[in-house]
Structure 1
Amino acid sequence: MEGKVTVSRQEPVLHMDTNARRNFIKFHAKLGEKPSTTVRFFDQTDCYTVHGSDDTELVAKIVYKSTAYVHPLMPDDKKEGLQFVAMSKGNFELAVRELLLVRNLRVEVYVKRTEWQLEYRGSPGNLLQFEDILFANKEVLVGNSIISLQVKLVAGQQRRVGVAAVEQNDCLFQLLEFLDDDFFTELEATIVLLGPKECLLPQLEGEYASVKTVLERNGVMVTVPKKSSNDDLLQDLNRLLRFAKGQQEEANGLKELQMVLAAEALRVAIKYLDLVNDAGNLGHYELKQLDLKRFVHLDSAAVAALNIMPKPGTHPSQPSYRWQSILGVLDHCRTPQGHRLMAQWVKQPLRSLSLLNDRHNIVQCLLESPDTLDLLSLDYLKRIPDILMLTKKLMRRKATLQDLFRIYQVILRTPKILKALLELEHATVQSVLCDPFKSFLEDLTGLKQMVEQVVDFEGIERSEYLVKASFDSRLMELQETMSELYSKMERLQSKCNEELDLDGKQQAKLENVAKLGYHFRITLKDDSILRKNKNYRIVDVIKGGVRFTSDKLESYAEEFASCRTRYEEQQQSIVEEIIQVAVGYAAPLTSLNNELAQLDCLVSFAAAARSAPTPYIRPQMLEEGSGRLVLEDVRHPCLELQEHVSFIANSVDFEKDVCNMFIITGPNMGGKSTYIRSVGTAVLMAHVGAFVPCSKAIISMVDSILGRVGASDNIIKGLSTFMVEMIETSGIIRTATDKSLVIIDELGRGTSTYEGCGIAWSIAEHLAKETKCFTLFATHFHEITKLADNLSTVKNCHMAAVADTTNFTLLYQVKPGCMEKSFGIQVARLANFPEHVVQNAQEVYHEFEDEHAEKQTKADKELLDKIQEAIEQLSTAGNNTEINEEDLTQLVTQFAHDIKQLDSDYFKSVVATASDG
């Protein structure tokens, strides 16, 4: 999408006579209710309309930023009318882009033939019919993926899930099958990994109801397509797949299709997207098995907690994009394909040490060669168009000679990129980047030679994309006529400069634009000279100057345009042949596109590391299970990019069997959440191949990054804050291993204090004793800090603050040990609460504190008396020779039970009292 979209407030008029209004209202009523996720547009020839209260309000806000443009469409009998909003074609396209790409809604467009009928339909995962509207002359910065699911119950509580993912931009099918629990934990990780816009389910009942909940929680639109069992998957794949040279062109033997559920899901997806009926897809798709073990497991809670992705609709050109998310921090890409790949990389952190070392090696090499980094980022990559979109136009036979020439320019520019990389003389750069570039350029040699033989390069200098006249005698005649006319226009240009007394840089320029044809242009300040001369007339005034013409120039321009139209008609068959040949180069073009995207991402990592307020450093990556995580002076990359923020760095040091958990206490607003997020963010960045915001980083590779930070109500899905918290935390407990990183913030706040504390304690204890993963546990339940007394691998730390009777200062520094207070009242004072409210809070706090202490003292005394009594009974029984063994056992059991009811502090008191006695 474009960074800035101009909204026209010019509202078109809907022309409908009485009969047409009546018929349209009847037709609209017959359509009946539609899903709330669908918006219907109606092509009224001279404008577009939407109808009904929901659609009109939504579209009016998108297009006009106001609901004042909603009007009633009244029938002739003045009965209840139908609301509508009218919009121009440009505003219709703006609305469609917003609905499909940002709001993830479906769009239907109805057109009037003899009767109204549905002409186009699109959804977030199926943009084919709207590609010209969405992506014509625009950068495609979003992926276009859809998944299809099949679920089958197996033994016990497990479900077998088959997934087929279709990435239409990359012409890629990915299949996988896995066993999952009743919470669909693995499916959620797959959704995070693939980032689909839409998911196809066979139904919404039974197991699929739970699947639907998971999908909607992750912002994925759910569709139940019409059932069709007549489609032959093998037949469709034989037509769609691109088989390798020498490979038997038969899908029947492909090992991926042994995954029966996934294969059925793929059949449904191919039918829903109608891929076979688009000639541009035939012979271009690739089929792969997706291996989840290649990537670090991320759940949706971690994606939200670490602010990995920006808000929907945020464009890289917006100033806030850079510091809103981790993607924004790292995305300094120069190409659309780079932007798309970067969004994929941050959601797919790697678990391969060799691949990560390759990425880190290349980033380090680029940082050590700043001139080459600048040359690639600021010059070469900036000139690379979206090869993937150009290739798709080729495959759909919609490409023009201009598109072909843009591809040719890429083939010309890539050797310069290759030369710059080779001069680095770096082994990893050579193997990962240079060797593939060489291979793809060799494969594209034929395409380069064809363009040079066929395209008229002299015409391109005049912004005309034509076939060389030498290909056809009729073309030669038209070319000679056009050359002669152009020479005449150039002579008129010279005459114009003499008549207007223009010289040097101020001379009139001969230009050609689509709507005006050939004309002259001078600067705005020479406007007065032009108006005095009656031989010329102004046709347009723009920021760049005044456009004008003369009778003779207009005559030549019209004749030239006529010749050019005939030339283009004559060359059409030749162009079609050229495009047909160019389609055969789709595979190496796609590979070149992917290689340039990878280079763009690695250059972007280097640019991000260098441009940070404090430059990032290379992390030392260790094998999984090494049990070390050391981050010195770790900073949060988003926060430090914000103006007027002076970030205070902190450190973390985990070592297997020495320390695997930090329990962090401290005042509200003291920086606990920022600290734990900084650690999670640094580990994620290291696993995507970027450098990290630290002064030193030793990171054992993790198998998952799991988080629960800042849960809130989810009213739409009927979930309370506490329920959201419990769902996220249960996923952590089920997924985490001793190789995981877990960050938890303020667990247990959504219920009563004692219940919340109990839940938080048990989860912390489980992670520390059983799972033994790296854990950062921020809490206001100070009782949990006592875990460190019993478990040597648990350490306490706190966010330092200084307070006295009048002043309160947050230091944002992590210090050893726990903090006994949360300083909530002092933070309220910092937030400028009225002083009388703060004083009242202080008084109520002291009352509760005194009351609690009094009750506690009383309870302690009663319980101690009870224990003393039990001790005396045991002592008496022990001296009584007549008591039987059963009674004695019962007394001991009762005593043990009473002891277990005591906190450790109580037990110490009992022991002390008994000793005194």
Structure 2
Amino acid sequence: MEDKELYTPMMQQYINIKQDYADAIVFFRLGDFYEMFFDGAIVASKVLEITLTSKDAGKKVPMCGIPYHASKVYIQRLVSKGFKIAIAEQVSLPGKGLVEREVIKLITPGMIIDEGILNANEYNFIGSIILSEHGYVLSYADISTGDTFVIDGLSRVEIIDEIKNLKLKEVILSNTSDQQLMNFFKSESILVTEYKIEDEIHSKLIQSLSSKEVKLSASLLLDYLTRESKLELSHLMPFKELTFKSYMHIDHQVFEHLELIESNSKNPKSSLIYWLDQTLTAMGSRLLKYTVTHPLKDATLIEYRYDMIESFKPFEPRNQLESLLDQMYDINRLVGRIASNNGNAKDLVQLKNTLSLIPELKNVLSMYPGNLILELNKEIDTHETLYEKLQLALKDDAPLSIKEGGMIKDGYHHELDELREIALHGEDWLENFLETEREKTGIKNLKIGYNRVFGYYIEVSKGNIPLIQDEFGYIRKQTLTNGERYITESLKVVEQKLLTSKERADKLEYELFVELKEFTKGFVESLQKLSYLIAQMDMYLALAKVTDLYHYVRPKLNLNGFVEIESGRHPVVERHVEFISNHITMKPHEIFILTGPNMSGKSTYMRMFALIVIMAQSGIYVPANRASLPIYDAIFTRIGSSDDISGGKSTFMVEMVEANEALTKATKNSLILFDEIGRGTATYDGLALAQGMIEYIHKHIQAQTMFSTHYHELTQLSEKFEHITNLHVKAKEEKDHMVFLHQVERGASDKSYGIQVAALAHLPEAIIKRSKQILKVLEKESSKLENNLFMFEEKVELEHIIPKDIQNILDDLTLIDLDKLTPIDALIKLKYIQNQIKQTKKDS
């Protein structure tokens, strides 16, 4: 911008505000519109697809605007694209001179609290990251619900996975020197803000955290939110410190491959959560999604969840409980808006209506047998005092506006009732006053009039003036040709009330609303607890319903490492087609080599196993007739074909990268699922890689593994290694056509049926015939090689290969931006790298 002195005072005011919010689009309030100017207008007009105009403000400047009352939809579109928005409101009344304006709220992708912008069924987290000598510390919060968490000791891979899983849209960093993280944020369009804080802040929200580094990370986030959001954040809960190692490790590729929350085909019915989420409240839906994406390793906690589902299974009270939950509003987000001074009377009414259901809810819960629901019911506070206050005060049809009246019930406040009476029945009062004065004076043609100069007055004709006596209290105000005009003290008092009653009533209603809001703030902590209890019962009730509806069973957890699944089913596929169930019986350290034709169901079989495991460790019943499972520390998958063109990675490269994660991170307590490894390169390269991986898993990792392949030659490995077992998916030929039986059995498949599958795809008959001729020749020529290929063995000096963790450290050192590191940051980074090297040596 040029010299601001060239512009009008109003535009100078805008420029001053913009200087403080240079990285935000400023919504500048002008009457009933939010206006944007200069570059902000140009950008907003393109994103919002609204007309770009200009304004003469000393000089012509670009301008676009949106109606104030319809701003939410525009804010949502801008925020979803990663923009920050500074809301500049008028903070003084119109009068002489320029109306004052200041930013009252900063809205960013991670700092949204307004209803109608957020997805009700998802958390909206904002995070902060610092690097300590023990690893990355991630703190994250949802300011709309008040939930806060912190995780310590993450590797770079782990923190990237967690950011993806949490769907963080905004991250706060103390410095931006970590180039690999910055590249990731850029690739994911995550808004990054560099923000400095010298030391941990003094707050009860972080007092219980375990270490200085963890407190510093939480302080960084808390200080940023407090200073930048312009909101009162008294509803934020104390940070809950999570232990990353208490959860099953699932990287983001597993989430994508298994379609836990989102469908790869953009069809929501292809995701697991679509079929599990029978919750009736937004609170329960958010909790269920978090539960499914954070499977546990603690058998006691898992069993507790099973017990809760079992407790909610009795059918009789379920309909009543569902009916009550279906009427409940999102307590957490109502409390968030009220506590942050963004709430309106409608929010209080919705809170009141929800609280009105709690006594009946407790009564229905008391019908359930068992101690678990009894204990949960004991913790539920009915909030009678708050409910009675809100019920007494608030109209059920309270408007969204909080400064135009219509919120408070008649009978709640005497002065408000009086003002309303005057505003509604002022003319009646004047008529009654006039009749009283006529009787008192005996003047039948006495009149009451009004003008702007004198206000209300009593007019007496010239002939009746002698009838006016001193005790009447009449004060002469104006002499006319045909009579006199008088006022009285009582008339002036009522005049004041008549002329200002509506304005005063609206102002008093606002004051009473503020009192109610402040009163409600005193219950924030107990309301948040109530919200969590309702979310729990909603989730467990939904899972109990799903269990009955889909015929799920309670898994048994074992410590012996055996897998026994009887008639397992895929929880998503069975909702679309008639699913053929399969057994899975697996010993500790066992590797299944799974063969069979394309489209026969190999990938579905592996996905079924993975989903059953994740559901079981999330504390959810599973689709099977019977299931006994060990507790896995991680699941690693490579299922499906994909590439990363923008990242410069082919399908085969992505395949190798994802396989490497399993081969370097898995333990004997992990589960590995590989589908068609090696198919993206030459046949012998692929065969060699596949065999090398299988042998490595068998000898070094010893994790239970399913390895699906078209390389039938690999089935010979079962003769050489004791823990390798062949499985195949049954199929048969009928008159040169394939029939898929989708049944998995022991033993190797006799052939791949590739040409038969091609025939099913209706390739030209000439191609099918020629392919069969070529296949016969190839099978003859390859028989000798086939007999020797998998007897090959040679010892490799693996100690000369640079481990992946060390290579990551070397890459990290190369990419450090020394110009952005402070001496303290450099020492922390050095200590972190040293610890990584020590850990790598220890692991090896």
TM-score bucket of the superposed structures, by smaller chain: 0.7 to 0.9
Q: Residues 737-792 of structure 1: CA distance to partner in whole angstroms, max 9, x if unpaired?
A: 22222211111222222222222222222223332222211111222222211222
Q: Residues 149-171 of structure 1: CA distance to partner in whole angstroms, max 9, x if unpaired?
A: 2235x6xxxx6222222232342
1:96, distance to aligned residue in structure 2 (A): 3.7
**Structure 2 runs not aligned, ≥5 long:** 1-6, 91-97, 400-404, 429-496, 796-844
Spell out the pairing of 1:873-892 with structure 2 (5 A cutoff): none
Q: Which of 111, 119, 125 is matched with 2:110 structurally?
A: 125
Per the alignment, residue 789 of structure 1 pairs with 719
Spell out the pairing of 1:575-654 with structure 2 (5 A cutoff): 575-612=513-550, 615-622=551-558, 625-642=559-576, 645-654=577-586
**CA distance in structure 2 between the aligned counterparts of 1:177 and 1:453, rounded to whole angstroms:** 48
**CA distance in structure 2 between the aligned counterparts of 1:422 and 1:560, rounded to whole angstroms:** 55
Per the alignment, residue 304 of structure 1 pairs with 256
**CA distance in structure 2 between the aligned counterparts of 1:717 and 1:116, rounded to whole angstroms:** 45
**CA distance in structure 2 between the aligned counterparts of 1:732 and 1:408, rounded to whole angstroms:** 51
**CA distance in structure 2 between the aligned counterparts of 1:399 and 1:74, rounded to whole angstroms:** 35
Q: Which of 121, 142, 148 is matched with 2:128 structurally?
A: 148
Contact 1:470–1:476 under 8 Å retained in 2: no
Per the alignment, residue 642 of structure 2 pairs with 712
Select between 284-293 and 385-394 the one with higher mean Cα deviation: 284-293
Per the alignment, residue 607 of structure 2 pairs with 677
Where 1:345 maps in the other structure, the secondary structure is helix
Query: Do the aligned partners of residues 716 and 664 (structure 1) sit closer, same or farther apart at CA in structure 2, a change above 3 Å counting?
Result: same
Residue type matched to 2:411 in 1?
A
2:140 corresponds to 1:165? yes
**CA distance in structure 2 between the aligned counterparts of 1:419 and 1:691, rounded to whole angstroms:** 27
Spell out the pairing of 1:186-201 with structure 2 (5 A cutoff): 186-191=158-163, 194-201=166-173
1:696, distance to aligned residue in structure 2 (A): 1.1
Where 1:370 maps in the other structure, the secondary structure is coil
Contact 2:235–2:340 under 8 Å retained in 1: no
Contact 2:615–2:621 under 8 Å retained in 1: yes
**CA distance in structure 1 between the aligned counterparts of 2:365 and 2:678, rounded to whole angstroms:** 53
Residue type matched to 1:602 in 2?
Y
Query: Do the aligned partners of residues 601 and 132 (structure 1) sit closer, same or farther apart at CA in structure 2, a change above 3 Å counting?
Result: closer
2:417 corresponds to 1:475? yes
2:394 corresponds to 1:417? no
Per the alignment, residue 831 of structure 1 pairs with 761
1:402, distance to aligned residue in structure 2 (A): 3.9
Per the alignment, residue 695 of structure 1 pairs with 625
Per the alignment, residue 804 of structure 2 pairs with none
How many percent identity over aligned positions? 22
1:265, distance to aligned residue in structure 2 (A): 3.0
Residue type matched to 1:294 in 2?
S
Per the alignment, residue 287 of structure 1 pairs with 239
Residue type matched to 1:161 in 2?
Y
Where 1:233 maps in the other structure, the secondary structure is coil
Query: Do the aligned partners of residues 423 and 793 (structure 1) sit closer, same or farther apart at CA in structure 2, a change above 3 Å counting?
Result: same
Query: Do the aligned partners of residues 173 and 836 (structure 1) sit closer, same or farther apart at CA in structure 2, a change above 3 Å counting?
Result: same
Q: Residues 539-589 of structure 1: CA distance to partner in whole angstroms, max 9, x if unpaired?
A: xxxxxxxxxxxxxxxxxxxx9999776533333323322221211100000
Q: Which of 43, 60, 76 is matched with 1:97 structurally?
A: 76
2:748 corresponds to 1:803? no
Query: Do the aligned partners of residues 577 and 122 (structure 1) sit closer, same or farther apart at CA in structure 2, a change above 3 Å counting?
Result: closer
**CA distance in structure 2 between the aligned counterparts of 1:329 and 1:418, rounded to whole angstroms:** 28
Q: Residues 313-347 of structure 1: CA distance to partner in whole angstroms, max 9, x if unpaired?
A: 98xxxxx53x2211111111111111211111111
**CA distance in structure 1 between the aligned counterparts of 2:54 and 2:216, rounded to whole angstroms:** 49
Contact 1:147–1:269 under 8 Å retained in 2: yes
Spell out the pairing of 1:107-506 with structure 2 (5 A cutoff): 107-108=84-85, 122-127=107-112, 131=114, 134-135=117-118, 140-151=120-131, 160-178=135-153, 180=155, 184-191=156-163, 194-205=166-177, 208-212=178-182, 219=188, 221=190, 223-225=192-194, 227-229=195-197, 233-235=200-202, 237=203, 241=205, 254=207, 256=209, 258-260=211-213, 262-275=214-227, 278=230, 280-282=232-234, 284-311=236-263, 321=268, 323-367=269-313, 369-377=314-322, 379-431=323-375, 433-437=376-380, 440-441=381-382, 444-455=383-394, 465-469=407-411, 471-476=413-418, 478-479=420-421
Per the alignment, residue 514 of structure 1 pairs with none
**Structure 1 runs not aligned, ≥5 long:** 1-18, 64-68, 242-250, 315-319, 487-558, 864-897, 903-917
Higher helix residue share: 1
1:176, distance to aligned residue in structure 2 (A): 3.1
Contact 2:306–2:619 under 8 Å retained in 1: yes
Residue type matched to 2:256 in 1?
A
Contact 2:562–2:629 under 8 Å retained in 1: yes
Contact 1:162–1:259 under 8 Å retained in 2: no
Q: Residues 102-140 of structure 1: CA distance to partner in whole angstroms, max 9, x if unpaired?
A: x6x234469799999999754332325xx25615xxx62
Contact 1:59–1:95 under 8 Å retained in 2: no
Q: Residues 204-262 of structure 1: CA distance to partner in whole angstroms, max 9, x if unpaired?
A: 54xx2233455677x4715142x434x55324x36xx3xxxxxxxxx6xx3526242x3
Q: Which of 672, 675, 684 is matched with 1:754 structurally?
A: 684
Query: Do the aligned partners of residues 484 and 729 (structure 1) sit closer, same or farther apart at CA in structure 2, a change above 3 Å counting?
Result: farther
Per the alignment, residue 509 of structure 2 pairs with 571
Where 2:538 maps in the other structure, the secondary structure is helix
Where 2:201 maps in the other structure, the secondary structure is helix
1:193, distance to aligned residue in structure 2 (A): 5.7
Residue type matched to 2:578 in 1?
S
Contact 1:455–1:468 under 8 Å retained in 2: no
**CA distance in structure 2 between the aligned counterparts of 1:561 and 1:405, rounded to whole angstroms:** 31
Q: Residues 858-894 of structure 1: CA distance to partner in whole angstroms, max 9, x if unpaired?
A: x98xx9xxxxxxxxxxxxxxxxxxxxxxxxxxxxxxx
TM-score normalised to the size of structure 2? 0.72
Residue type matched to 2:623 in 1?
P
Query: Do the aligned partners of residues 776 and 256 (structure 1) sit closer, same or farther apart at CA in structure 2, a change above 3 Å counting?
Result: same
How many residues align? The count is 694
Where 1:668 maps in the other structure, the secondary structure is coil
Contact 1:48–1:89 under 8 Å retained in 2: no
Query: Do the aligned partners of residues 123 and 349 (structure 1) sit closer, same or farther apart at CA in structure 2, a change above 3 Å counting?
Result: same
- Quote the RMSD (CA, aligned, Å): 4.4
Where 1:234 maps in the other structure, the secondary structure is coil
The answer to which structure, 1 or 2, has the higher relative contact order (CA under 8 A, 6+ apart) is: 2
Where 2:111 maps in the other structure, the secondary structure is coil
Contact 2:392–2:412 under 8 Å retained in 1: no
Query: Do the aligned partners of residues 775 and 216 (structure 1) sit closer, same or farther apart at CA in structure 2, a change above 3 Å counting?
Result: farther
